[in-house]
Structure 1
């Protein structure tokens, strides 16, 4: 694959998405960042405090990191807005080299220690903005990338696809993303387009810092070795450019492990894999049934 120049990171007002966008900016990329936050106020931490971060602030951070950030207000629950987003990218750039599917509905009870039926039913909305939205964005991206003969589609997943993590809706969403990568690779094979689902470790984000304060006994040990979200951006860039990335297409990858294979570090640090503690990705099955 030629050096990627144009990227889209969905759900990048803050958190993992903002960090991934900054990481791609550090690689000199033009990065479209989407989100619904024009001014802080809507998103809140686990303690009810208002979270910082807007699409414009992330875009500015991408530019300061060495790339070019382009903010686009987009609600990924609205297919028409998503269609317009990809039309804008095609009209302005004529191509898309990397898509990172990060947008997800985060329910305010996500980390509460309650069974799913004692949480609001709205927690299931992560299967809309998080799973379905990733399919829709990938559908648009695949059409563009196949025409140009190259591209990289990445899904932000987690060990929650294997172990119990934050309840069944969250787990189903992550497992679904992994299956998207597996099955979409089958359709994309021999097109020059790579695809992967990445199990990120604990990340240093606005929400995780609050979670560590809210539930110190649960998060304290993880935060000590948590990954900077830019690390994931660097991994995605390496998967798109490194010859090894082609062989890994369609796989579910543990960020800390694949980073070592690709020669990527996190600000000079190697991060631990939680495979033994939290589980392993499913091995792909070569069978295909139409």
Structure 2
């Protein structure tokens, strides 16, 4: 896949970074975007940068190209796509992973009228509008060649999101369900051009922020299960990165077009594992263990 080009929008950290690296491991040229650079931070105020992601892509065997882009600014996205076109004349994979709304999450089962309207609307812009702006500008380049792939990153499968996620509130629920609907819509529009769109979700992701919040590292993450027992089903970002790479390398990926899939589900199809050799199936675990009040036990789920 050395001649193929990917754009991972929102690749500064967590799932986006891991996906970019795994696409690089396939030998692809990967444009990685975000708002946090070594010179400035986004409102997330995290230390991870897009330059680091680009370097990790290159170290994995690909070519990482870091570009600071605010995907709420159509002119910046258009300029980025024009650059990709000018430098390569093609786009094979688009990963819409822009989020950046963690700072606006209003946890605790509070009704809409008690949440921050400003924060909620900002989440909708960051998590939905950015995806629409990016696809609007990138898809004309992607459809030039048959076989283009769009991966819409979300949180939760269509089955799990069929139930209202009261713990995160209406705005977050809207964002993640909307992204799944965007994958379905794009799958319909891309079909005549030989393109595919898929909604992909990780399970309980051990992102940099999650590990930091729980006071653990990737090396000793199991220590957090003492206080958060169901964290036993969590997965590293590499797991969903490998899921995205498996989709990108699959000549029969059209079988998933328009569908909502998870890293755990795809591990069973493609045979990849997490960094520890396991295959955590978080959404099945959540439905069958955590949601029904059973004691935390990942036996049979990883």
2:187 aligned counterpart, secondary structure: helix
Q: Would the alpha carbon gap of residues 244 and 259 (structure 1) be closer, same or farther in structure 2, given more than 3 Å must change?
A: farther
CA distance in 2, matches of 1:79, 1:276: 40
> Structure 1: where are the runs of 5+ without partners?
280-290
Q: Report the CA distance shift for 1:245/1:212 in structure 2 as closer, same or farther (over 3 A).
A: same
Q: Deviations over 1:75-115 (max 9, x none)?
A: 01111111111111111111111111111131424153251
The whole-number CA distance in structure 2 between the counterparts of 1:72 and 1:228 is 25
* Cα RMSD after superposing both structures: 2.6
1:93 aligns with 2:104: no
Q: With structure 2 as the length reference, what TM-score do the two structures score?
A: 0.81
Q: Give the corresponding residue for 2:38.
A: 39
For 1:103, what is the secondary structure of its paired residue? Answer: coil
Write the deviation string for residues 252-275 of structure 1: whole angstroms up to 9, x where unpaired: 112201221122222322112323
Alignment of 1:258-269 (within 5 A): 258-267=266-275, 268-269=277-278
* Structure 1 contact 212–218 (Cα < 8 Å) conserved: no
Question: How far apart, in 2, do the equivalents of 1:81 and 1:113 lie?
Answer: 36
* Partner in structure 2 of residue 182 of structure 1: 184
Distance 1:109 1:77, change over 3 A: closer
Query: Which runs of 5 or more structure 2 residues have no equivalent in the other structure?
Result: 217-223, 289-302
Q: 2 CA distance for matches of 1:197 and 1:278?
A: 19
Question: Matched residue pairs, number?
Answer: 273
Stretch deviating more after TM superposition (168-177 or 11-20): 11-20
Contact in 2 for aligned 1:97/1:152 (Cα 8 Å):
yes
* Superposition map of 1:38-57 within 5 A: 38-39=37-38, 42=41, 51-57=46-52
Map 1:46-125 → 2, pairs under 5 A: 51-110=46-105, 112-113=107-108, 115=110, 116-121=112-117, 122-125=119-122
Does the 8 A contact of 1:38 with 1:73 survive in 2? yes
